[in-house]
Structure 1
Amino acid sequence: MTLNPHPTYPSAGAYVVRMHRDARPESGQLVGRAEHVASGDSTDFATAQELLAWLMQHAAANRRELP
């Protein structure tokens, strides 16, 4: 068996999302911090829209790092 040298989910595409203690996801209130594992770039977000906008912008800008 040969392993694929290009992983399906490379670590350069890994993010950590931490929810603030005051977040109420059951009510749609997402508040927290997101961090890109490889670079350490991070942002605080107060809404799901802010989180998704940052993730899309950051991932697009860093796409060239992925195989």
Structure 2
Amino acid sequence: MVLNPHPIYPSAGRYVLRLHRDARRQQGQLFGRIEHVASGEGTDFATAAELLDWLASHAAQECDGTPGSHPNRKDHP
């Protein structure tokens, strides 16, 4: 078996999304935390708009090659 040196889904593009247990997806009430797997950068979000804004901003920075410079970075203690 030969492994592909260029994976289809590289880890640089992976995120972990954790929804709070009280989030009500059906009513559009999303809140929780999102983290970038490769860098560990993440943020808490209180709305779907905040989630999408952070994700779009972070993905754009990853494409620009400037990881770690996101202004909303919140590290785990």
Q: TM-score range by the shorter chain?
A: 0.7 to 0.9
Q: Which residue of 2 aligns with 1:58?
A: 58
How large is the RMSD of aligned CA atoms in angstroms? 1.8
Kindly, what percent of the aligned residue pairs are identical?
68
Q: TM-score, normalised by structure 2?
A: 0.74
Moved over 6 A (4+): none
Structure 2 unaligned spans of 5+: 67-77
Q: How far is 1:3 from its partner?
A: 5.5
Task: Find the aligned partners of 1:25 and 1:62 in 2 and give their Cα distance.
Answer: 28
Bigger relative CO (Cα 8 Å, ≥ 6 apart) = 1
Residue type at the aligned position of 2:53:
A
Residue type at the aligned position of 1:13:
G
> Which has the larger helix fraction?
1
Structure 1 unaligned spans of 5+: none
Count of residue correspondences:
65
